[in-house]
Chain A
Amino acid sequence: MAIRRGRGVAAINYPTGMNLGGDPTQALVHSTPTGNFMVTLSSVDLGQGMKQIMAQICAETIGVPTDRVVIDTADTDTGPHCMGTFASRGTHRAGNAVIQAAKEARQVMLEVAAEELEVNASDLETDGQGNILVKGAPQKSISIFDVALSAHFKRGRSISGRGMFLIPRSYPEKETGAMKPSTCYAHACTVVEVEVDDETGEVTVLNVKNVFEIGRALNPRMVEQQLVGGSWMGISHALYETTEPYYPSRDHGGTDFNQYLMPGPGDLAETEIIVLERPSADGPFGAKGPGEMCANPQIPAVANAVFDAVGVRIDTLPITPERVLRALKARAAG
Chain B
Amino acid sequence: MAKVPVQFTLNGSEKAEFIESGTTLLHALRDKIGDTSPKGGCHQGTCGACSVIIDGELRLSCLTLAETCNGADIRTTAGLAEAGVLHPLQRAFLDAFATQCGFCTPGMIMAAKVLLDRTPNPSREDVVEALSGNICRCTGYEPIIQAVLTAARANSQNAA
Contacts and interface: CB of A to CB of B under 8 A. Distances in A.
Interface of A: 46-49, 221-222, 224-226, 228-233, 256-258, 262, 264-266, 268, 271
A46 B101 contact: yes
B47 interface: yes
Chain B interface, >50% SS class: loop
B139 A225 contact: yes
Nearest to A235: B140
B144 A225 contact: no
A225 B142 CA distance: 10
Contact of A229 (B100, B102, B131, B134): B100
Nearest to B129: A266
Given A47-B102, A222-B97, A226-B100, A265 B44 contact: no
A256 B143 CA distance: 27
Interface string B119-151: 000000001110110111111111111000000
A262 B46 CA distance: 12
Given A231-B140, A258-B46, A265 B100 contact: no
Contacts of B140: 228-233, 268, 271
Nearest to A264: B132
Contacts of A224: 97
Given A49-B100, A265-B132, 18 more contacts: A46-B101, A47-B101, A222-B97, A225-B100, A228-B142, A229-B138, A231-B140, A233-B137, A256-B44, A262-B137, A264-B132, A264-B141, A265-B134, A265-B136, A266-B128, A266-B129, A271-B140, A271-B142
Interface residues of B, number: 26
10 contacts: A225-B143, A226-B100, A229-B100, A229-B139, A230-B140, A232-B139, A256-B42, A265-B127, A265-B144, A268-B140
B103 to A, nearest CB: 8
Contact of A228 (B101, B128, B131, B139): B139
Of all A-B residue pairs in the complex, the 6 with the closest CB atoms, nearest first, are A232-B140, A47-B101, A47-B100, A265-B141, A225-B97, A229-B140
A228 B144 contact: no
Contacts of B102: 47
Contacts of B134: 265
Nearest to B133: A264
A213 to B, nearest CB: 20
